[in-house]
Structure 1
Amino acid sequence: MSIIRRLKNLIGARHPVRMAWHHLKALIAALRYGFPARKLTVIAITGTDGKTTTVAMTAHILHESGIAVGAVSTSFFRIKDKTEENPTHKTSISPFAFQKFLRRCVNAGCTHAVTEISSHGLVQHRNDFLWPAVAAITNISPEHLDYHGTMEQYKKDKAILFRMLKKDGVSVLNADDETYEEYRSIPAGWRIAWSSSHAFASAMNDHDCGFWASDIQETAGGISASLQCNAEEDTWNLQLKIPGLFNLENALCAISCAHAAEVSVDQAVNALGTFPGVPGRLERIDEDQLFAVYVDFTVTPNAYEKTLSAIRATLAPGGRLLVLTGSCGDRMPEKRPVIGKIVSELADVVVVSEDETITEDQHKVIDEVWAGIDQNAVEAHKIFDRREGIRFLLKNAQAGDAVALCGMGACTTMQTREGLRKWDEREVARSLLRQTKETT
């Protein structure tokens, strides 16, 4: 065992010595790259689910509004109109990689940066010296409790972002979320609240701005709603090309972030009308088959419920929902049977298969998800090989059905205890769809 690993085992995750070390690394990184955040208007977005899409939406709005913007997220890096994959697939990259990216943004002439921020990154000081002008949260639900311990601690750790705000900074809050009252008590220059139900109206004060949606219509091709703002008399027709109520919520958060950056509501709504979505986030795979196929980076129980509900809402009468599921390893094993339970409640056919289990035994993880499956409520199968699990679902899908491949999203590798292997769920699905068509 290496000296560093021994020290990590001896010094707890939140020990003052470890926290000081993390902060020192962040300081050295910021010094190395000349404190680039000082030259940027930074919009920092945290939350349990929806962060990546909200970062992408916000960056898209700013770019379409003529603002030179960079963005960093779990799945991509963006500088102006060029996007590249985040090869680490980590939400909060190391402080050196983070500060280097911000320096690239500055050197490229960006004036704004949109950053996805994780609770781990906040606790471990990876995002120190960021000085956000805007801090936003999408939502919060149980996740990473193996690290944070309790939901209360998880909420406190997320709140670190709002305490990092510049003195005149803007906090963007989800009025429908349990964090709303707690986070709105944290000092900010001003606040913007958003809601998909107008639940916050009675809580508004003279210093607040609020956006809410009504007349919500969902289809397989997207979602539409009437958008209103308590600071404006107009009503806007918001049209998204991607489905799901949760994507409307992401859009409301993105509009609020853009408004905090002085982008007009007209510009934001118009830009979102052309937003193409994020690879691997409820991404539709089309090989001219008679049923819908979606690939989604579904990880948390909350995300499973929202994603599968959104897909089911698009089905015509008689259409079935077929789902591939599993669970990532080395993280919150207690959520696995919960995922199994949710899937068996919302799917008609489910296959439990391998996932990115890191150091854990694949069969053990599959069994823990399987334990939550109600076999009286759903047709359920265990198929260890993920490719074969996908093949089974595609062969059994019929006209009018929908197939949801959950878990891997746009990842291009899969890490298991046997090692790292190439895996692109989208390409696997396309290849198998073509093979299925050739044999029918």
Structure 2
Amino acid sequence: MKSFLKKIVSKNIFKIYYILVEFLIALFYGFPGKQLRIIGITGTKGKSSVVYLASKVFEASGYKVGATSSIEFKLGKKTSVNKTKMTMPGRIVLQKFLRECVKQKMDYVILEITSEGLYQNRQKFINFETALFTNLFPEHIESHGSYENYKKAKGLLFKTLKGKGNAIINTSYNESAYFLNFPAKEKHTFKSTDKLPFKTHLIGDFNKENVLAVYNLARFYKIKKEIIKNALDKIKFIPGRLDPIDMGQDFKVYVDYAHMPAALERVLQALKSQILHPIVGQTNAKKVKNQKLIAIIGSQGSNRDKWKRPEMGRIAVEYADIVIITNEDPYKDNPWQIIEDIYRGAEKIQNFKKQTKVIKILDREFAIKKAIDAAEKNDIVLISGKGREPWMETAKGKIPWSDAKIAEK
């Protein structure tokens, strides 16, 4: 019914509808978004990680912090896993959360902000003190219509600043100029190539970029370098992001949320170039002879970004020695069709890269078992697509799920 209405009703009417609904909900909760110091994190990759790390740093500085991301909901010391399968909460959940932040006297609230949420005006009636841009890659093109529309949707967060809020921009990407054009009280920039003044336990250059974003945000808020360093040093991994499964085995297993091509490539690059559990910025990690990288990949159903399916297959085969294509979140789509769509991309590369083995397994639990059984000493197994999500979306609805628990078994 909703999709039918979208076809016959103009986009402008939908925008007015979204704003009206947002106003009524914000009114019901007493406009909590205007009573808090709120930081919005947007971009394509790294948003959840930046929110997670930033909340730890601000907390270490003595502040009470509220935060929402695809990882968790945080109210001070109390956290709960995000089970909504929505990166940015729906308007009712978000306004209710902000009201609770007011009630519990949070000093800062850090929110992960999505393009879809911005397009639906969930940011309305929220005063953002600071907006941070991480990066931009093609994503959600089918829902936005084009990459340009996707970029403009992201820009709506910076539009809300109206010259009164602050902008922190990663200028390593060409699109950064677009976000820098929005009026802001103060503008602060950084680059992914900037040198970190300390090391962390997090794997990969993409995590260096995330840490740099957090570092620049924290320094903008006058948090001391030593506090930032000590807070981040306590973090061995980010839940669901290259999240290690250690049962005493002599090979490494990671679960990761990477469910889009750019994210998958970043993760596979990090694992391919690192043998031992490395430090961000380390370039001389020892190579282990005959080490294999085994990757489990999948893709979502429900007509979500179908274009990405062959791309996921192509990228996996470029980096991994064994690729297992399996079920992820099929919704009402035929899961075998999704697997075949992914395989088409893998097959093109496999024809040239003969040494990569590609296996199709419908049962995700069996796929995880197969990958772990194939692993030998010093190998790396990546279980991608779901991270720490507690559900799988199927034609029969949600079913309880945990990649981590299956891997531990």
Where on the TM-score scale, by shorter chain, does this alignment land: which range?
over 0.9
How do 1:58-73 residues align onto structure 2 when only pairs under 5 Å count? 58-73=54-69
Match for residue 294 of structure 2 among 311, 322, 328: 322
Q: Which residue of 2 aligns with 1:155?
A: 151
- Contact 1:241/1:276, CA 8 A, preserved across alignment: yes
- Contact 1:323/1:347, CA 8 A, preserved across alignment: yes
- Contact 1:170/1:260, CA 8 A, preserved across alignment: no
Deviates more, 1:280-289 or 1:163-172: 163-172
- Contact 2:123/2:157, CA 8 A, preserved across alignment: no
- Contact 1:409/1:425, CA 8 A, preserved across alignment: yes
Match for residue 120 of structure 1 among 116, 119, 125: 116
Structure-2 change in CA distance of 1:26 and 1:384 (3 Å): same
Secondary structure of residue in 2 paired with 1:158: helix
| Cα separation, 2, equivalents of 1:152 and 1:7 | 24
Deviation of the 1:5 alpha carbon: 6.3
| Cα separation, 2, equivalents of 1:358 and 1:126 | 25
Alignment partner of 1:295 is 2:255: yes
Letter in 1 for 2:300: C
Q: TM-score, normalised by structure 2?
A: 0.92
Compare relative contact order (CA 8 Å, sep 6+) and give the higher one, 1 or 2: 2
Letter in 2 for 1:71: A
Letter in 1 for 2:372: L
Structure-2 change in CA distance of 1:348 and 1:139 (3 Å): same
| Cα separation, 1, equivalents of 2:289 and 2:331 | 40
Alignment partner of 1:10 is 2:8: yes
| Cα separation, 1, equivalents of 2:69 and 2:236 | 16
- Contact 1:131/1:166, CA 8 A, preserved across alignment: no
Match for residue 393 of structure 1 among 343, 358, 371: 371
Deviation of the 1:185 alpha carbon: 1.5
- For residues 310-348 of structure 1, give each alpha carbon's deviation from its aligned partner in whole angstroms, at most 9, with x where no partner exists: 111122232110010011122111111111111000000
How do 1:30-41 residues align onto structure 2 when only pairs under 5 Å count? 30-41=26-37
Letter in 1 for 2:273: A
Secondary structure of residue in 1 paired with 2:307: helix
Structure-2 change in CA distance of 1:26 and 1:261 (3 Å): farther
Structure 2 unmatched ranges of 5 or more: 276-287
| Cα separation, 2, equivalents of 1:275 and 1:370 | 36
| Cα separation, 2, equivalents of 1:90 and 1:257 | 25
Deviates more, 1:421-430 or 1:272-281: 272-281
- Contact 1:133/1:166, CA 8 A, preserved across alignment: no
- Contact 1:91/1:116, CA 8 A, preserved across alignment: yes
How do 1:385-424 residues align onto structure 2 when only pairs under 5 Å count? 385-424=363-402
Identity among equivalent pairs (%)? 33
| Cα separation, 1, equivalents of 2:388 and 2:269 | 21
Structure 1 unmatched ranges of 5 or more: 198-211, 214-226, 228-235, 432-440
| Cα separation, 1, equivalents of 2:238 and 2:323 | 25
Q: Which residue of 2 aligns with 1:361?
A: 334
Deviation of the 1:354 alpha carbon: 0.5
Deviation of the 1:6 alpha carbon: 4.9
Letter in 1 for 2:37: T
Alignment partner of 1:346 is 2:324: no
Q: Which residue of 2 aligns with 1:282?
A: 242
Structure-2 change in CA distance of 1:334 and 1:171 (3 Å): same
Secondary structure of residue in 1 paired with 2:23: helix
Q: CA RMSD in A?
A: 1.4
Structure-2 change in CA distance of 1:36 and 1:242 (3 Å): same
| Cα separation, 1, equivalents of 2:361 and 2:5 | 40
Q: TM-score, normalised by structure 1?
A: 0.86
- Contact 2:170/2:192, CA 8 A, preserved across alignment: no
Letter in 1 for 2:147: M
* Count of aligned pairs: 391
Deviation of the 1:269 alpha carbon: 2.5
Letter in 2 for 1:36: P
| Cα separation, 1, equivalents of 2:109 and 2:340 | 42
Secondary structure of residue in 2 paired with 1:156: helix
| Cα separation, 1, equivalents of 2:19 and 2:164 | 24
| Cα separation, 1, equivalents of 2:5 and 2:116 | 19
| Cα separation, 2, equivalents of 1:304 and 1:264 | 34
Q: Which residue of 2 aligns with 1:233?
A: none
Letter in 1 for 2:152: K
